[in-house]
Structures are given as structure tokens and as C-alpha cells.
Amino acid sequence: MLERYFQKPVTVDRIRALWLGPQIELYVGWLEARLASSASVVRHVSTLRHFNQFVCTRGVTACEQLPTHVQPFIDEWMRAKAPSRLSKAARGTVLANAQVPVQQLLELIVPGYARVRHRVATPFMSNVPGFFPFLREERGLRPQTCVCERLSGSAVFWL
């Protein structure tokens, strides 16, 4: 499966040789099933290679130990890749590039692990209280289309 995204056999061998190599390959299959773009897969695998190196230097020997190392990894990632002169939006992108792949991987490999998702209040409720029922009932949108979540500090509205 990794061969679809990495052309050099040596790159595929290096990924498979990592301590988290088998889990990363499982994650790539999970991304592929969700029709992730090739660029996303490559970027996520790159982040997970860094995470693998990070946890190995900290002496992690079991997947069940990984959740306690997520926040320290993200903190180090932000110090290294997101200088304070970056805009808030750019810092959010850097944060998401570190946080999302690691948390998704842990959801797959660590029993009981779940990402923290911050729900925000439904927008427009005080100003236009019937907006979302209108979208669902009159305009025919599915309920899943009108989801509002807060991911990585910014609100995302699916409309």
C-alpha cells in the first residue's frame, strides 16, 4: 500500500522499519479508504515518522504509552515549526499538521483512545433561530451536512 505513495523502495522500507511502521501502514490504508489525496497521505506519514522518532527517543515501548506523549510532541513541533511571527491561521495549520495524523493513528491502534473534539454552539441560533431547520426541511439538506465542530481552535461549519 505504501508503494502507491512513495516511489522509491528504500523510502517504503524505511517506513516499514520504523517502530510504528506496521501501524503507519495500517493508517495509510485507513486514509486510502477515506479517499485522502496522495499529498495528504505523504504529509501525514512524514508527521508520523517524526512522531515515531520522538517517542523512541523517550523510551516508549508499548502503543498504550503513546497517548501521554501526544501533547509533548505537539508542543515540540510548534516550537520548531511555528515561530511566533506566523499569523494565527498559519499557526493553526502547523498545529493541525502535527495533531491530526497522530490522533487519528492513535484512534486506530490504541483501544479506547478518542480525539478531543470541541463542539461549538450552533451558529446563528440567536439571530436566525430557524436557519438550520429551514436548511434541512425546506432546502433538503441532510442533518449530517449541518454539522458544526471546533477543530484545532477554529470553528468549521459543514454546509
pTM of structure: 0.74
Q: Per-residue pLDDT averaged across 116-133, rounded? A: 72
Q: How many domains would you assign to the chain?
A: 2
**CA gap 149, 119 in Å, rounded:** 5
Q: What is the pLDDT of residue 141?
A: 84
Contacts (Cβ under 8 Å, ≥6 apart) of 16: 2, 22, 25
The closest of 79, 80, 51, 78 to 67, measured between CA atoms, is: 51
**In a shared domain, residues 40 and 62:** yes
Q: 142 and 98 in one domain?
A: no
Percent of the chain, pLDDT > 90? 65
Asked whether residue 150 carries a pLDDT value surpassing 60, the answer given is no
Specify whether 124 is located in the same domain as 104: no
More confident residue, 157 or 34: 34
Q: Are 105 and 122 contained in the same domain?
A: no
Domain that holds residue 56: 2-109
* pLDDT band at 123; cut points 50, 70, 90: low
User: 44 with 91, same domain?
Assistant: yes
Higher pLDDT, 85 or 149: 85
For position 104, what pLDDT does the model report?
A: 96
In Å, how far are 6, 49, 148 from 56, measured between CA atoms? 23, 11, 37
For the chain, what is the mean pLDDT?
Answer: 88
Q: What percent of the chain has pLDDT over 70?
A: 87
Q: Give 14-35 pLDDT, tens digit per residue.
A: 999 999 999 999 999 999 999 9
